Structure formats: structure tokens, C-alpha cells
Chain A
Amino acid sequence: MRLRIAATAMLLTAVAACGGSTTDTSDIADLPPASTAELTVSIQAAGLPAVVNVWASWCGPCRSEAPLLATAASQFEGSINFIGLNTRDSQPNAKGFIAEFLADAPITHLFDRDGDVVIDFGGTSGVPLTFFVDGEGAVSTVHFGVIDERTLALAIDELLQTAG
């Protein structure tokens, strides 16, 4: 019995160690720096509602919601802009996170080193958080913390209903 438990523990450790290998980020460009004015203008210029998700590579909950945001971004491509606002992070770590969790998602990522844009948009220093912005650049809802599928789907539907 002890042998079986030890073998299982070793197997789990080995698999975990394999999974922790460094991700290749050579295909990912540096994230452009974000400014509140530029972000607002780009949302207004696109004329589409936007979902602005604030994340950091060191944030565990951000990892857990990343696949959901990637799915939503693919599903609503063309009707809603998805923007990732990386905050209080480093470029290499941010690129590693994108390569691992958001590589193929149609999300535009920006770098907000000190979190100034997040504060200007009405957020806090905590991550993750998600802004739902109408086509005119006004924040309609802020969701603090990890977002679940129902909440995200409802907030997106609200943006589309209001826009339509």
C-alpha cells in the first residue's frame, strides 16, 4: 500500500515537473504601453463595445478565467473588442502568460505597468477585474474578481442589447 502511494506521489511530481517547462514566447511581441486617453479613443474609433480585462501573470485567479475570456473573445469577434490590460507585471512574464493561456485568442493586450489606466477607469489595485465599456468609451459595469461564465455572458448580452 505504501509503495503504491509513493509511486503515485512520484508520478504526480514527475508530471507536474514536466508541465512546468518554460513557454516559448518568441512569437509574441512586447505589449504596447497603455494610456487612458489612447485606450478610450481606440474604443470609440472602433465603435464597438469592449470588454477590458485587467490581469497579471502572477495572479492565480487570472489564469483560471483566461480560458473563458479566450472563448468569449473568439465567439464575439467582430461584435465586441476584447482588450487585456496587463498590470504591475514584467514584459517577459506577461508574454509567457499570453503564450500559455491566450495564444490564439483575438485579444489586444496592453501594458499598464503601474496600474494608472486601471485606476482612471474606476478600478482598484486588485486583479483580476473586468470593465464592460460601451461603444462610446464609457464604462457601464465593473466586475471585481474572477468572472464566471454566466456573469460574463450576461454582461456581454447587456452590452449588445444596449448597443443594438
Chain B
Amino acid sequence: MEFTLLFAVAIAFVAGSIALRWEAARGNAVDCASDLQEVLLTAAIAGIFVGRLVSMVASGVNPLTNLADILIVRGGVATGPATVAALLTIAFVARGEIIAVADALAVASLASLGGWHLGCLARDACLGTASDLPWAMTQSGSSVGRHPIELYAAAILLMAAAALALRRKRPLPPGVAAATALGLASAVRLATEPLRPSLGGGPVWWYLTGLLGAIGALLVIWRRATATTGGTRVDT
């Protein structure tokens, strides 16, 4: 029934777990008392649940009278509300050390998203809009070449995760890793969305909001850092 989706979720989970272990081995999560694996999993489940509920309500289906339909995630998950719910869950579960936990989850979140997009291979859902480029791929039984858009997104997100992990070798001000991850994830979705066939253009406003929010957060952090160092920015 939903096994291909579950397989994609499993790939995302494995990618996130590997990133968390890698980060832990390099001492990037030493400030956190929370179990990061648990926080990430709880946030993902809460996000999917809320996203599914919002999607049902938005399309006129009453979740209370159609309780079992909540489990049919293929019926649609509202990406923006799902992301907000996941972030709020992290804030709630890790209250008291929100920024430290968010920073510690930054690389794993990007890796998980990359894994989710890579899961298109299991779902046979990698292709986007038509393309004549040499690397365009075709669906079975079709002659129309298409962008392997989900593979683009997966590659960029996994490279971004690796780049952020490497950058974290040197200390960053609190919040920078989390805001950068949010900005990168939003930017990748925003940039790749036009190459995805969709009904109604996709939730680009949510991605734009995420990107602008991340830029805003980085600016605030930068201003605070420069204010506390008398105008000279340093990595603390």
C-alpha cells in the first residue's frame, strides 16, 4: 500500500542517523542533553501528522469523520505547516536548550531531506518537467525526456549537509548552523520547484518564507556578534 513511501522514509531516517553519528563522533553535539535521534524522529512524525491534517482540512475532508484517512499520507501532506509543526516540536521537546539542539540537528536535517529526495528511486518518482538535456531521463514506456529533479535536490542537499558539517569543524555562533540549514533547505526547494510538475505551482510561498526567515535569523545573529565584539566579527 504505502510501502514505497515507507522505504523513502527509511532512507531519510538512515541518512539522518548517519549524519548524527558522524556529528557526534566529531564532538559537534556535546552541549546537548537531549537524545537527538529521538528529537528528530518525534519532530518528523509530528510534522507529517500536522501536515496531513492540514492537507485534509484544506481539501474539504473532515479528519474526525475520516480518521483512518489520516494514515494515507499519499493523499497529501501540506509541506509548510508540516515544517512549522516539526520546528515547534523541536522547540517544545528541547525547551531549555533549543538553539543548541537545533544547531546539533542542522546537518542531520539536511541529510534526512536529501535521503527523502533520494527515496524517489524507491518510489519511481524522480522525474520532473520535460527536458532535452543529455542527462534527461524517461519514464518506462515514454519517449519524453525529463529532469531527474528529485536527484538534483538530493545531491544538492547531501552536499550542503557535508559542507555544513565540515564548516562546523570551526566553532560557529549559536544558531548559525540551524538557520543556515533552514535557509539551504528552503532555497533548494524553491530553486527546484519550477522543475516539478504540480497542480497549482507548489507551496513556493512557504519555501520563500523559510529562506527569508533564515536570512533574517542570520542577520540578527551577525548583528549581535558584531555588537558584542565592538564591530569586528569573530567566530566564538
Contacts and interface: CB of A to CB of B under 8 A. Distances in A.
Interface in A13-50: 15-16, 19-20
Given A16-B65, A157-B197, A64 B1 contact: no
Contacts of A20: 65
Interface stretch (B70-78, B105-113, B159-167): B70-78
B64 A12 contact: yes
Contact of B129 (A19, A67, A157): A157
Nearest to B120: A150
Contact of B65 (A19, A148, A156, A158): A19
A157 B62 contact: no
A60 B62 contact: no
Contact of B199 (A16, A61, A71, A158): A71
Contacts of A60: 66, 68-69, 72
A89 interface: no
Contacts of A150: 125, 196-198
Contact of A19 (B62, B127, B142, B197): B62
User: B interface, by DSSP: helix, strand, loop or mixed?
Assistant: loop
Interface residues of A, number: 34
B59 interface: yes
Given A75-B199, A150-B125, 18 more contacts: A12-B64, A15-B64, A19-B64, A60-B68, A61-B1, A61-B72, A67-B61, A67-B76, A146-B72, A146-B74, A150-B198, A153-B198, A154-B125, A154-B127, A157-B130, A157-B197, A161-B144, A162-B142
Interface of A: 12, 15-16, 19-20, 60-61, 63-68, 71-72, 75, 101, 140-141, 145-154, 156-158, 161-162
